[in-house]
């Protein structure tokens, strides 16, 4: 069988619209309001915190602010020296030099009407940062993000399939979660490719169809995938 859509999986650019909020609706609404250009001047900083996979990086990239990853550049040497809107990820990974750079950026943003969006893996009170920086970050807007449960991911994927008039059976959803990357951006990209393939071939999404699709697609990208069948009976999700 020909390899299907091998080059399809460029992930959609992160946006507030393609973020799947589920239990994070209030956080998404608050961030959207804070980012709005016409908002009244309020908190100069907005801190998101939550476990890996909760969508922090997606939202920071969706802000449109210059993005800095402290895990890759703990010193934050590339931070601009002029007041600006900034998004800084993984602040718990900052080096002492990075903490000073972020402290300075916070003060510049507050003085000049800039905005600082930061993300961390733990609550502000537990951030391993120097006290003056931690206190400043904790003085702004603070919101926790919860990772999607498997059921919430499946619901989002089923909705994506229904939007294209394709039925996505529960056993296929369970299989996809076991054998594919589990972050929603990757899963959504895979679902787009899978529904494209099903529509192109005029074939319903069945478990054998999905197995063949993933085998062709992921092996071409060097991604390991086990192929043991699922023996548990699964009801089809409407």
pLDDT digits (tens, 9 = 90+) for 47-81: 999 998 899 999 999 999 999 999 999 999 888 77
- Residue 40: inside a domain, yes or no? yes
The terminus-to-terminus CA distance of the chain in angstroms comes to 29
Overall average pLDDT of the 120-147 stretch: 94
**Do residues 200 and 124 both lie within one domain?**
no
Q: What is the pTM of this model?
A: 0.79
- Residue 71: inside a domain, yes or no? yes
**Do residues 83 and 128 both lie within one domain?**
yes
**Do residues 183 and 97 both lie within one domain?**
no
Overall average pLDDT of the 82-91 stretch: 88
Query: pLDDT band for position 222 (50/70/90)?
Result: low
Q: Which domain holds residue 161?
A: 150-220
pLDDT at 226 over 60: no
- Residue 237: inside a domain, yes or no? no
**Do residues 113 and 210 both lie within one domain?**
no
The share of the chain scoring above pLDDT 70, in percent, equals 84
**Do residues 118 and 42 both lie within one domain?**
yes
Overall average pLDDT of the 95-102 stretch: 95
- Residue 3: inside a domain, yes or no? no
Last residue of a domain, one of 126, 145, 164: 145
- Residue 171: inside a domain, yes or no? yes
Last residue of a domain, one of 96, 113, 145: 145
Overall average pLDDT of the 125-148 stretch: 94
**Do residues 106 and 173 both lie within one domain?**
no
- Residue 70: inside a domain, yes or no? yes
Look at the chain and report how many structural domains it folds into.
Answer: 2
**Do residues 88 and 159 both lie within one domain?**
no
Residue 117 belongs to a domain with what CATH number? 3.40.50.300
Overall average pLDDT of the 215-234 stretch: 51
**Do residues 109 and 186 both lie within one domain?**
no
**Do residues 131 and 68 both lie within one domain?**
yes
pLDDT of residue 97: 95
Number of neighbours of residue 106 by Cβ within 10 angstroms: 23
**Do residues 154 and 137 both lie within one domain?**
no
- Residue 11: inside a domain, yes or no? no
């Amino acid at each position: 069988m020909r390899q299907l859509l091998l080059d399809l999986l460029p992930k959609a650019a992160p946006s507030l619209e393609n973020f799947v909020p589920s239990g994070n609706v209030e956080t998404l609404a608050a961030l959207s309001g804070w980012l709005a250009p016409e908002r009244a001047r309020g908190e100069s900083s907005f801190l998101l915190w939550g476990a890996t996979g909760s969508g922090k990086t997606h939202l920071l990239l969706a802000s449109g602010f210059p993005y800095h990853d402290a895990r890759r550049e703990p010193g934050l040497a590339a931070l601009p020296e002029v007041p600006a809107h900034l998004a800084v990820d993984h602040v718990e990974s900052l080096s002492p030099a990075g903490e000073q750079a972020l402290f300075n950026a916070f003060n510049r943003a507050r003085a000049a009407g800039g905005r600082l969006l930061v993300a961390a893996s733990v609550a502000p009170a537990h951030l391993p940062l120097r006290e003056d920086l931690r206190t400043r970050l904790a003085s702004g807007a603070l919101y926790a993000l919860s990772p999607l449960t498997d059921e919430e991911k499946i619901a989002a994927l089923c909705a994506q399939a229904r939007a294209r008039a394709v039925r996505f059976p529960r056993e296929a959803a369970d299989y996809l979660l076991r054998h594919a990357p589990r972050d929603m951006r990757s899963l959504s990209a895979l679902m787009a490719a899978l529904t494209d393939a099903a529509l192109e071939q005029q074939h319903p999404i069945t478990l054998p169809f999905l197995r063949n699709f993933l085998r062709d697609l992921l092996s071409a990208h060097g991604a390991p995938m086990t192929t043991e069948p699922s023996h548990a009976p699964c009801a089809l999700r409407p």
